[in-house]
Amino acid sequence: MESSGKIVMGRYELGRLLGKGAFGKVHYAKNLESNRSVAIKMMDKEKVLKVGLSEQVRREITTMRLVEHKSIVQLHEVMATRSKIYFVMEYMKGGELFDKVAKGGNLTEVNAHKYFQQLISAVDYCHSRGVYHRDLKPENLLLDENENLKVSDFGLSALSESKRQDGLLHTACGSPAYVAPEVIGKGGYDGAKSDIWSCGVILFVLAAGYLPFQGLNLMEMYRKIEKGDFRCPGWFSQKLQKLLYKIMDPDPSKRISIQKIKESTWFRKGPGETLTVKQPSENATTNAAPTLGVRRRKNNHEDVKPLVVTNLNAFEIISFSTGFDLSGLFLEKERKKEARFTSENPASTIISKLEDVAKALNLRVRKKDNGVVKMQGRKEGRNGVLQFDSEIFEITPSYHLIEMKQTSGDSLEYKKLLEEGIRPALKEIVWAWHGDDEQQVHQG
């Protein structure tokens, strides 16, 4: 074992670093009494208290003590000193399931079937104990030395007593790409049904190698999630496609239950021996949903319509943090630069100012629906005509978030125009610019 020479609480010898986060580290360790390998998550008490995560830590401890299952990472014990909190957990030698997909692409349908069965077994058990995970994603699914899946990270979980009088949960949380449409909405949601949706997204990712709902920004992705707008690639078996469309039904009242999932043919028997598993080719996105970062070009001659500003709910506002930018998750080369600012002015004032700035900088302006103002250069640049969109989102009637995104032309020319022309000209209506230094925000 690679040792750091440090002994924790008199009986654990720390080894190599397994992972590092904003509030602590995870180390490999060995119990000096039993010689058992474990993972120890060490959290800084001061940081946890400072950002108000003490309730989240308590919730994780309570939940992990409630659930003991072969497909759930086991919590052995919790210890604390004046400055640290130690979670001693089962050591998962195989690492994150996410790494398998990120490094190797999609899994065979047979392997996806194996992991999905183990995932559903764990989630079904949690629900039977009144526990709803609320942050299911491949990063929170770990593999043991025998490549068996185990669910981890219950920091955002909820217990059945968390429900309000309407019998629903109301805290918006989770990871944007895996969250159910009803969680994004303003009403309450059923924790069990939202977990089922996330399981469906995970199954799609395992078998496809990319996310089912995609867009260059979160709002575009959310619109697809709310409509259940996704397509299965051609190499999926018909049984798998049928099951996925039932799991990712945007109407939670029509979404398939875990019991019905377990009774489905694909879940019970798998893809079958006759299935030929196709690997996604470079052009797979022409027949299936595009990978993140790629969007089909729209008709440049579409009719001009009146501007309609999009309303944001609390979950969407939090997710606009740079830490939640998903555009480069699977594909970096198509990623475009975005700039965001907030304004305390009404939408009409912002639009007028954008038009004045465009006129001063000799840019063409075209207003579109969905709260988008399109600006375009009048001359060919080094890489074609420069063009960018400004999309306006309403947080309150007098408080807006504006996202500016380059859609064509030379990136260096756009950056120069943004820094030297647009930013100074918008100064009087900008409350704050939001850049790469934003901190990622979680809402428990």
Please give the mean pLDDT across all residues of the chain. Answer: 78
- HEC states along the chain? CCCCCCEECCCEEEEEEEEECCCEEEEEEEECCCCCEEEEEEEEHHHHHHCCCHHHHHHHHHHHHHCCCCCECCEEEEEECCCEEEEEEECCCCEEHHHHHHHHCCCCHHHHHHHHHHHHHHHHHHHHCCEECCCCCHHHEEECCCCCEEECCCCCCEEHHHCCCCCCECCCCCCHHHCCHHHHCCCCECHHHHHHHHHHHHHHHHHHCCCCCCCCCHHHHHHHHHHCCCCCCCCCCHHHHHHHHHHCCCCCCCCCCHHHHHHCHHHHHCCCCCCCCCCCCCCHHHCCCCCCCCCCCCCCCCCCCCCCCEECCHHHHHHCCHHHCCCCCCCCCCCCCEEEEEECCCHHHHHHHHHHHHHHCCCEEEECCCCEEEEEEEEEEECEEEEEEEEEEEEECCEEEEEEEEEECCHHHHHHHHHHHHHHHCCCCCCEEECCCCCCCCCC
What pLDDT, in 10s, does the model give residues 97-152?
A: 988 888 878 899 999 999 999 999 999 999 998 888 888 999 889 999 999 999 98
Instruction: Give the pLDDT score at 111.
Output: 95
pLDDT of residue 121: 96
Residues spanned by CATH 3.30.310.80 within the chain? 310-434
- In this prediction, residue 5 has a pLDDT band, given cuts at 50, 70 and 90, of low
pLDDT at residue 88 is higher than 90: yes
Task: Say which of 124, 135, 190, 389 is annotated catalytic.
Answer: 135
Its sign, for the CA torsion 264, 270, 276, 281, is: positive
Active site residue 437: no
The boundaries of every CATH 3.30.200.20 domain in the chain are 7-90
Pick 94 or 2 by higher pLDDT.
94
User: 363-395, pLDDT tens digit by residue?
Assistant: 988 776 566 888 889 888 888 888 888 888 776
Cα–Cα distance for residue pair 157/154, rounded to 1 Å: 5
Q: Cα–Cα distance between 383 and 327 in angstroms, integer? A: 22
Please report, to the nearest 10 degrees, the dihedral formed by the alpha carbons of residues 40, 45, 51, 52 taken in order. 90
The distance in angstroms from the start CA to the end CA of the chain is 36
Length of the chain equals 444
Give the residue with greater pLDDT, 165 vs 251: 251
pLDDT, position 424: 92
Q: Compute CA distances 36 → 88, 91, 341, whole Å.
A: 11, 9, 52
Q: What is the CATH number of domain 95-286?
A: 1.10.510.10
Per-residue pLDDT, 113? 97
Spatial separation of the C-alpha atoms in residues 127 and 275, rounded to whole Å: 33
Superfamily of domain 7-90: Phosphorylase Kinase; domain 1 (3.30.200.20)
Residue 218 pLDDT exceeds 50: yes
Mean pLDDT of 81-106: 88
CATH number of 310-434: 3.30.310.80
> What was the pLDDT predicted at 153?
82
Q: How confident is the model over 344-355, as pLDDT tens digits?
A: 888 888 888 998
* pLDDT the model gives residue 336: 46
CB 242 within 8 A of CB 232: no
Place of tokens 């965001």: 340
**Structure tokens, 406:** 């380059």
Residue 255 pLDDT more than 50? yes
pLDDT of the residue at 246: 97
Question: What's the pLDDT score for residue 168?
Answer: 62
CA 305 to chain centre: 32
| Residue with the two structure tokens 């104990």 | 129
pLDDT at 172: 56
C-alpha radius of gyration, the chain, whole number: 24
What are the phi and psi torsion angles at 181 (to 5°)? -60, -35
Amino acid identity for residue 177 in this structure: A
pLDDT tens digits for 406-437? 888 888 888 889 989 999 999 888 887 865 44
* Torsion over CA: 370, 372, 378, 381 (sign): negative
